[in-house]
Structure 1
Amino acid sequence: MDSWRVAVLGGGGVGKTALAVQFTLNCFVGKTYDPTIEDAYRKQLVVDNRMCFVEVIDTAGQEEYATLRNQWVLEGQGFILVYSIASRSTFDRLEVFRQSMLRVKRQKPVFILVGNKCDKSYEREVTKDEGIALARSFGCLFMETSAKTAHNVELVFTNLVRALRTTQQMAGGMPNPRRPPEEKKQRKCVIL
Protein backbone atom coordinates (compact mmCIF):
# COMPACT_ATOMS: atom_id res chain seq x y z
CA MET A 1 0.00 0.00 0.00
CA ASP A 2 1.41 3.36 -0.97
CA SER A 3 1.29 6.32 1.39
CA TRP A 4 1.23 10.02 0.47
CA ARG A 5 1.50 13.31 2.34
CA VAL A 6 -0.55 16.01 0.65
CA ALA A 7 -0.34 19.65 1.71
CA VAL A 8 -3.28 21.93 0.96
CA LEU A 9 -1.98 25.44 0.26
CA GLY A 10 -3.79 28.70 -0.45
CA GLY A 11 -4.91 31.98 1.04
CA GLY A 12 -7.05 32.36 4.14
CA GLY A 13 -10.75 31.55 3.76
CA VAL A 14 -10.50 29.60 0.48
CA GLY A 15 -11.85 26.38 2.04
CA LYS A 16 -8.69 24.34 2.64
CA THR A 17 -10.02 22.88 5.90
CA ALA A 18 -13.45 22.30 4.36
CA LEU A 19 -11.84 20.35 1.48
CA ALA A 20 -9.74 18.24 3.87
CA VAL A 21 -12.71 17.49 6.13
CA GLN A 22 -15.05 16.74 3.21
CA PHE A 23 -12.48 14.35 1.72
CA THR A 24 -11.62 12.51 4.95
CA LEU A 25 -14.85 12.69 6.96
CA ASN A 26 -17.50 13.20 4.25
CA CYS A 27 -19.02 16.24 5.93
CA PHE A 28 -18.98 19.99 5.46
CA VAL A 29 -17.68 22.42 8.04
CA GLY A 30 -18.76 25.93 7.24
CA LYS A 31 -20.53 29.05 8.43
CA THR A 32 -17.89 30.30 10.86
CA TYR A 33 -14.32 30.96 9.73
CA ASP A 34 -11.75 29.79 12.26
CA PRO A 35 -8.22 30.14 10.84
CA THR A 36 -6.14 26.96 10.93
CA ILE A 37 -2.46 26.98 11.84
CA GLU A 38 -1.89 23.31 11.00
CA ASP A 39 -4.01 20.17 11.14
CA ALA A 40 -3.65 16.72 9.64
CA TYR A 41 -6.37 14.41 8.37
CA ARG A 42 -5.96 10.82 7.21
CA LYS A 43 -7.89 8.58 4.85
CA GLN A 44 -7.44 5.18 3.28
CA LEU A 45 -8.86 4.81 -0.21
CA VAL A 46 -8.65 2.74 -3.36
CA VAL A 47 -7.30 4.42 -6.50
CA ASP A 48 -7.21 2.32 -9.68
CA ASN A 49 -7.74 -0.93 -7.75
CA ARG A 50 -4.81 -0.19 -5.40
CA MET A 51 -5.19 0.71 -1.76
CA CYS A 52 -3.43 3.85 -0.58
CA PHE A 53 -3.18 6.02 2.49
CA VAL A 54 -3.38 9.81 2.21
CA GLU A 55 -2.39 12.17 4.98
CA VAL A 56 -3.73 15.67 4.31
CA ILE A 57 -1.80 18.55 5.87
CA ASP A 58 -4.21 21.46 6.28
CA THR A 59 -2.15 24.66 6.39
CA ALA A 60 -2.61 28.30 7.36
CA GLY A 61 -3.08 30.71 4.48
CA GLN A 62 -2.52 33.91 6.40
CA GLU A 63 0.68 35.78 5.64
CA GLU A 64 1.75 35.80 9.30
CA TYR A 65 2.33 32.03 9.00
CA ALA A 66 4.48 32.30 5.85
CA THR A 67 7.56 31.11 7.77
CA LEU A 68 5.83 27.77 8.39
CA ARG A 69 5.03 27.36 4.68
CA ASN A 70 8.51 26.05 3.81
CA GLN A 71 8.15 23.30 6.42
CA TRP A 72 4.75 22.24 5.05
CA VAL A 73 6.15 22.20 1.52
CA LEU A 74 9.19 20.22 2.64
CA GLU A 75 6.95 17.60 4.33
CA GLY A 76 4.47 17.31 1.44
CA GLN A 77 4.85 14.94 -1.50
CA GLY A 78 1.90 16.34 -3.41
CA PHE A 79 0.06 19.64 -3.19
CA ILE A 80 -3.38 21.07 -3.72
CA LEU A 81 -3.12 24.77 -4.52
CA VAL A 82 -6.51 26.30 -3.67
CA TYR A 83 -8.25 29.59 -4.38
CA SER A 84 -11.87 30.64 -4.00
CA ILE A 85 -13.73 31.33 -7.24
CA ALA A 86 -15.55 34.05 -5.25
CA SER A 87 -12.32 35.90 -4.35
CA ARG A 88 -10.05 37.47 -6.96
CA SER A 89 -7.41 38.25 -4.31
CA THR A 90 -6.97 34.54 -3.42
CA PHE A 91 -6.46 33.77 -7.12
CA ASP A 92 -3.93 36.59 -7.47
CA ARG A 93 -1.88 35.26 -4.49
CA LEU A 94 -1.39 31.75 -5.94
CA GLU A 95 2.02 32.58 -7.40
CA VAL A 96 3.34 33.15 -3.83
CA PHE A 97 2.43 29.57 -2.89
CA ARG A 98 3.75 28.12 -6.15
CA GLN A 99 7.07 29.91 -5.65
CA SER A 100 7.32 28.37 -2.16
CA MET A 101 6.95 24.91 -3.69
CA LEU A 102 9.50 25.61 -6.41
CA ARG A 103 12.00 27.06 -3.94
CA VAL A 104 11.80 24.24 -1.36
CA LYS A 105 11.35 21.08 -3.45
CA ARG A 106 14.42 19.61 -5.16
CA GLN A 107 12.38 18.21 -8.02
CA LYS A 108 9.34 19.64 -9.78
CA PRO A 109 6.44 19.57 -7.30
CA VAL A 110 3.36 17.51 -8.11
CA PHE A 111 0.27 19.63 -7.58
CA ILE A 112 -3.27 20.36 -8.72
CA LEU A 113 -4.79 23.82 -9.02
CA VAL A 114 -8.26 23.94 -7.44
CA GLY A 115 -10.91 26.63 -7.73
CA ASN A 116 -13.05 25.96 -4.65
CA LYS A 117 -16.56 27.17 -3.78
CA CYS A 118 -18.01 26.55 -7.25
CA ASP A 119 -21.40 26.30 -5.52
CA LYS A 120 -21.16 30.11 -5.18
CA SER A 121 -21.39 30.77 -8.92
CA TYR A 122 -23.51 33.88 -8.22
CA GLU A 123 -20.50 35.37 -6.34
CA ARG A 124 -17.92 34.30 -8.94
CA GLU A 125 -14.97 36.68 -9.39
CA VAL A 126 -12.65 34.24 -11.21
CA THR A 127 -13.81 32.52 -14.40
CA LYS A 128 -13.20 28.85 -15.08
CA ASP A 129 -11.22 29.85 -18.18
CA GLU A 130 -8.86 31.92 -15.99
CA GLY A 131 -8.28 28.87 -13.78
CA ILE A 132 -7.62 26.69 -16.83
CA ALA A 133 -5.16 29.24 -18.26
CA LEU A 134 -3.28 29.55 -14.97
CA ALA A 135 -3.05 25.76 -14.60
CA ARG A 136 -1.73 25.52 -18.14
CA SER A 137 0.96 28.12 -17.35
CA PHE A 138 1.83 26.24 -14.11
CA GLY A 139 1.92 22.89 -15.96
CA CYS A 140 -0.59 21.19 -13.68
CA LEU A 141 -4.10 19.78 -13.58
CA PHE A 142 -7.06 22.08 -12.83
CA MET A 143 -10.42 21.35 -11.24
CA GLU A 144 -13.24 23.33 -9.70
CA THR A 145 -14.67 21.93 -6.47
CA SER A 146 -17.24 22.62 -3.82
CA ALA A 147 -16.40 21.40 -0.34
CA LYS A 148 -19.99 22.24 0.60
CA THR A 149 -21.62 19.94 -1.98
CA ALA A 150 -18.60 17.55 -2.25
CA HIS A 151 -18.44 18.28 -6.01
CA ASN A 152 -15.13 16.89 -7.37
CA VAL A 153 -13.52 16.70 -3.88
CA GLU A 154 -12.74 12.97 -3.97
CA LEU A 155 -11.68 13.29 -7.61
CA VAL A 156 -9.07 15.96 -6.77
CA PHE A 157 -7.33 13.63 -4.31
CA THR A 158 -7.70 10.62 -6.65
CA ASN A 159 -6.13 12.56 -9.53
CA LEU A 160 -3.31 13.77 -7.27
CA VAL A 161 -2.55 10.18 -6.15
CA ARG A 162 -2.45 9.14 -9.82
CA ALA A 163 -0.05 11.99 -10.63
CA LEU A 164 2.16 11.09 -7.64
CA ARG A 165 2.27 7.43 -8.68
CA THR A 166 3.17 8.38 -12.26
CA THR A 167 5.96 10.66 -11.04
CA GLN A 168 7.24 7.92 -8.75
CA GLN A 169 7.24 5.36 -11.59
CA MET A 170 9.07 7.77 -13.91
CA ALA A 171 11.68 8.28 -11.19
CA GLY A 172 12.36 4.54 -11.04
CA GLY A 173 10.02 3.71 -8.17
CA MET A 174 11.90 5.62 -5.52
CA PRO A 175 9.59 7.51 -3.13
CA ASN A 176 11.83 10.61 -2.90
CA PRO A 177 13.98 10.76 -6.02
CA ARG A 178 16.97 13.11 -6.08
CA ARG A 179 17.27 13.75 -9.79
CA PRO A 180 18.51 16.81 -11.62
CA PRO A 181 15.79 19.09 -12.99
CA GLU A 182 14.49 18.00 -16.37
CA GLU A 183 13.92 20.12 -19.42
CA LYS A 184 10.49 21.73 -19.44
CA LYS A 185 7.99 19.47 -21.15
CA GLN A 186 4.64 20.43 -22.55
CA ARG A 187 2.07 18.99 -20.13
CA LYS A 188 -1.52 18.22 -20.83
CA CYS A 189 -4.26 19.84 -18.82
CA VAL A 190 -7.18 17.81 -17.51
CA ILE A 191 -10.39 19.82 -17.31
CA LEU A 192 -13.40 18.43 -15.50
Structure 2
Amino acid sequence: MPEQPNDYRVAVFGASGVGKSSLVLRFVKGTFREAYIPTIEDTFRQITDTTGSHQFPAMQRLSISRGHAFMLIYSVTSRVSLDELTPIYEELVRIKGPRAMRSIPIMLVGNKSDEGDTGREVSTIQGEAVAQKWNCGFMETSAKNNVNVKEVFQELLRMETRQNMTLVGDTSDSKGILSCFRFLRHGSTHRGGSRGEKSAAKPLPTDTTS
Protein backbone atom coordinates (compact mmCIF):
# COMPACT_ATOMS: atom_id res chain seq x y z
CA MET A 1 0.00 0.00 0.00
CA PRO A 2 1.46 3.40 -0.92
CA GLU A 3 2.65 5.50 1.98
CA GLN A 4 0.40 8.45 2.77
CA PRO A 5 1.55 11.83 4.15
CA ASN A 6 -0.35 11.27 7.40
CA ASP A 7 0.89 7.74 7.99
CA TYR A 8 2.51 7.18 11.36
CA ARG A 9 4.77 4.17 11.13
CA VAL A 10 5.50 1.92 14.09
CA ALA A 11 8.26 -0.63 13.58
CA VAL A 12 8.18 -3.79 15.70
CA PHE A 13 11.49 -5.58 16.16
CA GLY A 14 12.32 -8.86 17.83
CA ALA A 15 13.82 -12.28 17.20
CA SER A 16 11.76 -15.02 15.59
CA GLY A 17 9.36 -16.68 18.00
CA VAL A 18 9.13 -13.94 20.64
CA GLY A 19 5.51 -13.24 19.72
CA LYS A 20 5.64 -10.13 17.52
CA SER A 21 2.83 -11.19 15.23
CA SER A 22 0.85 -12.70 18.11
CA LEU A 23 1.00 -9.41 19.99
CA VAL A 24 -0.05 -7.35 16.98
CA LEU A 25 -2.80 -9.81 16.03
CA ARG A 26 -4.16 -9.78 19.57
CA PHE A 27 -4.23 -5.99 19.55
CA VAL A 28 -5.72 -5.49 16.11
CA LYS A 29 -8.01 -8.50 15.79
CA GLY A 30 -8.43 -9.70 19.35
CA THR A 31 -7.19 -13.17 18.41
CA PHE A 32 -4.28 -15.39 19.43
CA ARG A 33 -2.64 -18.31 17.66
CA GLU A 34 -1.11 -20.92 19.95
CA ALA A 35 1.20 -22.44 17.35
CA TYR A 36 4.05 -20.41 15.92
CA ILE A 37 3.49 -19.86 12.21
CA PRO A 38 6.66 -18.64 10.45
CA THR A 39 4.64 -16.68 7.90
CA ILE A 40 1.44 -14.86 8.80
CA GLU A 41 -0.49 -12.75 6.31
CA ASP A 42 -3.65 -11.23 7.72
CA THR A 43 -6.58 -9.50 6.10
CA PHE A 44 -6.36 -6.18 7.94
CA ARG A 45 -3.83 -5.11 5.32
CA GLN A 46 -0.66 -7.09 5.92
CA ILE A 47 1.37 -8.17 8.89
CA THR A 48 4.06 -10.57 7.81
CA ASP A 49 6.52 -12.33 10.08
CA THR A 50 8.90 -14.67 8.31
CA THR A 51 12.05 -16.49 9.34
CA GLY A 52 15.57 -15.50 8.35
CA SER A 53 15.69 -12.43 10.54
CA HIS A 54 19.39 -11.68 10.41
CA GLN A 55 19.71 -12.07 6.66
CA PHE A 56 18.11 -8.75 5.71
CA PRO A 57 20.10 -5.88 7.29
CA ALA A 58 19.21 -3.50 4.45
CA MET A 59 15.51 -4.05 5.06
CA GLN A 60 16.06 -3.54 8.78
CA ARG A 61 17.81 -0.22 8.14
CA LEU A 62 14.99 0.87 5.83
CA SER A 63 12.36 0.15 8.48
CA ILE A 64 14.35 2.12 11.05
CA SER A 65 14.81 5.10 8.75
CA ARG A 66 11.09 5.17 7.87
CA GLY A 67 9.80 4.49 11.38
CA HIS A 68 8.37 7.12 13.71
CA ALA A 69 8.09 4.89 16.79
CA PHE A 70 9.56 1.54 17.77
CA MET A 71 8.63 -1.51 19.78
CA LEU A 72 11.50 -3.81 20.78
CA ILE A 73 10.10 -7.19 21.79
CA TYR A 74 11.77 -10.09 23.55
CA SER A 75 10.47 -13.19 25.31
CA VAL A 76 10.87 -13.35 29.07
CA THR A 77 11.64 -17.05 28.54
CA SER A 78 14.74 -16.27 26.45
CA ARG A 79 17.68 -14.17 27.59
CA VAL A 80 19.12 -14.50 24.10
CA SER A 81 16.09 -12.74 22.60
CA LEU A 82 16.75 -9.76 24.88
CA ASP A 83 20.45 -9.72 24.06
CA GLU A 84 19.63 -9.73 20.33
CA LEU A 85 17.85 -6.40 20.72
CA THR A 86 21.08 -4.62 21.66
CA PRO A 87 22.47 -4.36 18.10
CA ILE A 88 19.03 -3.25 16.91
CA TYR A 89 18.94 -0.48 19.49
CA GLU A 90 22.48 0.52 18.54
CA GLU A 91 21.41 0.66 14.89
CA LEU A 92 18.48 2.87 15.92
CA VAL A 93 20.89 5.28 17.59
CA ARG A 94 23.22 5.24 14.60
CA ILE A 95 20.49 5.92 12.03
CA LYS A 96 18.28 8.32 13.99
CA GLY A 97 21.07 10.03 15.90
CA PRO A 98 21.57 10.33 19.68
CA ARG A 99 19.86 13.71 19.86
CA ALA A 100 16.73 12.59 18.01
CA MET A 101 16.51 9.45 20.13
CA ARG A 102 15.53 11.57 23.12
CA SER A 103 12.14 12.29 21.55
CA ILE A 104 11.44 9.08 19.60
CA PRO A 105 8.84 6.82 21.28
CA ILE A 106 10.40 3.44 22.08
CA MET A 107 8.94 0.61 24.14
CA LEU A 108 10.89 -2.40 25.38
CA VAL A 109 8.37 -5.24 25.69
CA GLY A 110 8.84 -8.51 27.56
CA ASN A 111 6.29 -10.87 26.01
CA LYS A 112 5.12 -14.30 27.25
CA SER A 113 4.75 -13.15 30.85
CA ASP A 114 2.15 -15.92 31.24
CA GLU A 115 4.93 -18.51 31.41
CA GLY A 116 5.48 -17.84 35.12
CA ASP A 117 8.68 -17.76 37.13
CA THR A 118 9.71 -21.33 36.33
CA GLY A 119 9.99 -20.62 32.62
CA ARG A 120 11.62 -17.22 32.95
CA GLU A 121 15.13 -16.37 31.89
CA VAL A 122 14.63 -12.59 32.18
CA SER A 123 13.20 -11.09 35.36
CA THR A 124 11.06 -7.98 35.40
CA ILE A 125 13.87 -6.13 37.19
CA GLN A 126 16.34 -7.11 34.47
CA GLY A 127 13.99 -5.87 31.75
CA GLU A 128 13.44 -2.60 33.58
CA ALA A 129 17.20 -2.14 33.92
CA VAL A 130 17.70 -2.44 30.16
CA ALA A 131 14.85 -0.01 29.50
CA GLN A 132 16.38 2.49 31.92
CA LYS A 133 19.75 2.14 30.21
CA TRP A 134 18.13 2.78 26.83
CA ASN A 135 15.89 5.55 28.20
CA CYS A 136 12.74 3.92 26.84
CA GLY A 137 9.41 2.68 28.14
CA PHE A 138 8.98 -0.84 29.49
CA MET A 139 6.11 -3.25 29.91
CA GLU A 140 5.60 -7.00 30.16
CA THR A 141 2.80 -8.53 28.12
CA SER A 142 1.07 -11.80 27.37
CA ALA A 143 -0.43 -12.06 23.91
CA LYS A 144 -1.79 -15.46 24.92
CA ASN A 145 -3.75 -14.17 27.92
CA ASN A 146 -4.33 -10.67 26.52
CA VAL A 147 -2.41 -9.00 29.35
CA ASN A 148 -1.20 -5.42 28.76
CA VAL A 149 -1.65 -5.78 24.99
CA LYS A 150 -3.79 -2.70 24.45
CA GLU A 151 -1.92 -0.90 27.20
CA VAL A 152 1.51 -1.29 25.59
CA PHE A 153 0.30 0.29 22.35
CA GLN A 154 -1.43 3.07 24.26
CA GLU A 155 1.75 3.75 26.20
CA LEU A 156 3.75 3.94 23.00
CA LEU A 157 1.41 6.58 21.61
CA ARG A 158 1.26 8.38 24.95
CA MET A 159 4.96 9.07 24.44
CA GLU A 160 4.16 10.72 21.13
CA THR A 161 3.19 14.37 21.40
CA ARG A 162 1.22 14.13 18.19
CA GLN A 163 -2.35 13.19 19.04
CA ASN A 164 -5.46 11.58 17.56
CA MET A 165 -3.89 8.53 15.94
CA THR A 166 -5.75 5.39 14.97
CA LEU A 167 -4.42 2.10 13.68
CA VAL A 168 -5.13 1.53 10.01
CA GLY A 169 -3.08 -1.64 9.57
CA ASP A 170 -0.39 -2.43 7.00
CA THR A 171 2.96 -3.93 7.54
CA SER A 172 5.68 -4.48 5.11
CA ASP A 173 9.40 -4.91 4.79
CA SER A 174 9.28 -7.64 7.41
CA LYS A 175 11.78 -10.45 7.33
CA GLY A 176 11.93 -12.36 10.56
CA ILE A 177 13.30 -9.84 12.97
CA LEU A 178 10.74 -7.17 12.32
CA SER A 179 7.17 -6.34 11.47
CA CYS A 180 5.85 -2.90 10.59
CA PHE A 181 2.40 -1.46 10.71
CA ARG A 182 0.97 2.00 10.52
CA PHE A 183 -1.11 4.42 12.50
CA LEU A 184 -3.04 7.12 10.71
CA ARG A 185 -2.25 10.52 12.16
CA HIS A 186 -4.95 13.19 12.28
CA GLY A 187 -4.62 16.86 13.13
CA SER A 188 -1.48 18.59 14.35
CA THR A 189 1.92 17.29 13.37
CA HIS A 190 3.76 19.43 15.90
CA ARG A 191 6.37 17.50 17.81
CA GLY A 192 7.60 19.07 20.98
CA GLY A 193 8.65 18.14 24.47
CA SER A 194 10.49 15.09 25.68
CA ARG A 195 9.73 11.42 26.11
CA GLY A 196 8.79 11.92 29.72
CA GLU A 197 5.93 14.32 28.93
CA LYS A 198 2.39 13.02 28.79
CA SER A 199 -0.06 13.65 25.99
CA ALA A 200 -3.77 13.06 25.75
CA ALA A 201 -3.74 10.39 23.08
CA LYS A 202 -7.12 8.87 22.32
CA PRO A 203 -7.68 5.24 23.34
CA LEU A 204 -6.74 2.90 20.52
CA PRO A 205 -9.21 0.50 18.93
CA THR A 206 -8.78 -3.16 19.76
CA ASP A 207 -10.15 -4.29 16.41
CA THR A 208 -9.58 -2.46 13.15
CA THR A 209 -10.36 -4.45 10.04
CA SER A 210 -11.49 -1.79 7.61
TM range (shorter): 0.7 to 0.9
Q: Do structure 1's residue 85 and structure 2's residue 80 form an aligned pair?
A: no
Q: Decide whether aligned partners of structure 1 residues 12 and 30 sit closer, same or farther in structure 2, where only a CA change above 3 A counts.
A: same
Structure 1 residues 120, 61: CA separation in 2 closer, same or farther (over 3 Å shift)?
farther
Aligned partner of 2:73: which letter? V
Q: Structure 1: which 5+ residue stretches go unaligned?
A: 43-54, 168-172, 178-184
Instruction: Specify the alignment match of 1:181 in structure 2.
Output: none
**CA deviation vs aligned residue, 1:89-143 (integer Å, no higher than 9, x gap):** 0011111111121122252132000000001123111111000100010101110
Count residues with an aligned counterpart. Answer: 163
Q: Aligned partners of 2:72, 2:52: CA distance in 1, in Å?
A: 11
One-letter identity of the residue aligned with 1:113:
L
1:112 matched residue in structure 2: 107
CA RMSD across the alignment = 3.2
Higher relative contact order (CA 8 A, sep 6+): 2
Give 3-state SS (helix, strand or coil) of 1:164's partner. Answer: coil
Partner of 1:152: 148
TM-score by length of 1: 0.72
What do residues 156-190 of structure 1 show as CA deviations (whole Å, max 9, x unaligned)?
A: 100111101269xxxxx64578xxxxxxx9969xx
Q: Which runs of 5+ in 2 are unaligned?
A: 1-5, 164-187, 198-210
Shift of 1:84: 0.3
Distance 1:176 1:12 in 2: 33
Of 50, 53, 66, the match for 1:75: 66
Whether contact under 8 Å (1:40, 1:58) holds in the other structure is no
Q: Residue in 2 aligned with 1:161?
A: 157
More helix per residue = 1
TM-score (norm 2): 0.66
Matches within 5 A, 1:1-192: 4-35=8-39, 62-106=53-97, 107-108=100-101, 109-121=104-116, 122-165=118-161, 174=189
Any idea what SS the aligned residue of 2:152 has? helix
